[in-house]
Amino acid sequence: MKNILIPTDFSEDAWKAIQYAQLLFKEVECNFYCLHVSDLVEYAVVTENEGNGNGTGVANGTRMTASKKQLNDFLKAAEDHFTNQKHHFFGIHDHGFFIDSIKKHAKEKKIDLIVMGTKGATGLRKRIIGSNTGDVITKVPYNTLVIPKEAALKRPEEIAFPTDYNIFYSHKILEALSEMIRLGDEGNLRVMHVTRLGGILTSEQKKNQEYLHDFLMESFPENNSFHTLTNKSVNAAIQCFVESRDIDMMIMVAKNLNFLQQMLFDPLVEKISFHTNVPFFVIHE
């Protein structure tokens, strides 16, 4: 049984996340925990003013009741829409700080994976991901799958694994990579390294590369390939690779923080579209 946590604000983005998750894990027994976190300040106002006659507590209490109803409606829609007998849906209504709530329920429910929806690059300055998504990726030590608003609802056939070979690929990382390859429709893992002109790998990078290569050749000999791209910009290189290879998903390792930051936390995105339509899977050790 796989336990999956899906934070929801009842938006189209959250619905897209649950659509993608149930498709990806269609052959796996899953518990889907849909979590809605109400604002802590709002909850405090309800508690302090409830029944004091000034109407404030009642108004905020009504808003909280409404959010619980929205959660029930969200669950009902999921149960009606997704009829896979292997999938079970549960609602969690909490109040407080978003990240604290995610951590608490992930631990209590023994969560294997967090799945989140995101609009991708939006707004005048086109920041790549929202603050909630960024905080979950960097502050919550659970594997996280992020589904952009424009992502296609299909299991991944072509999976990109951008890496700089600066980390050792532990058993947990390799296990997560393997699972995603198997979940895909005859999934292929494309390992890609971006380097500047004339750049060479250090001895440590070469060891990590060889270890990853040996594992993939032993486990998925027909479903992997290694690529080196030369470009000053990691994002620009990945964009070219995504387009040329019709990439359906990207996988990154949270431990590889410097590389992750280059990909997801650059302040601006120009002429980069893969953030809006390619799901990305972040692995935590």
The answer to whether residue 53 is domain-embedded is: no
Same-domain pairing of 124 and 237: no
How far apart CA 41 and CA 90 sit, in angstroms, is 25
How confident is the model at residue 215, as a pLDDT?
98
With cut-offs at 50, 70 and 90, classify the pLDDT of residue 128.
very low
Same-domain pairing of 7 and 138: yes
How far apart CA 153 and CA 185 sit, in angstroms, is 13
SS (H, E, C) 215-263: HHHHHCCCCEEEEEEECCCHHHHHHHHHHHHCCCEEEEECCCHHHHHHH
Beta-carbon count within 10 A of 264 CB: 22
Same-domain pairing of 143 and 163: no
How confident is the model at residue 273, as a pLDDT?
56
CATH number of the domain where residue 200 is located: 3.40.50.620
Same-domain pairing of 22 and 131: yes
pLDDT tens-digit series, residues 229-253? 988 778 788 888 988 999 999 999 9
Longest dimension (CA), the chain: 73
How confident is the model at residue 255, as a pLDDT?
83
Domain that holds residue 163: 158-274
How confident is the model at residue 265, as a pLDDT?
60
Same-domain pairing of 20 and 122: yes
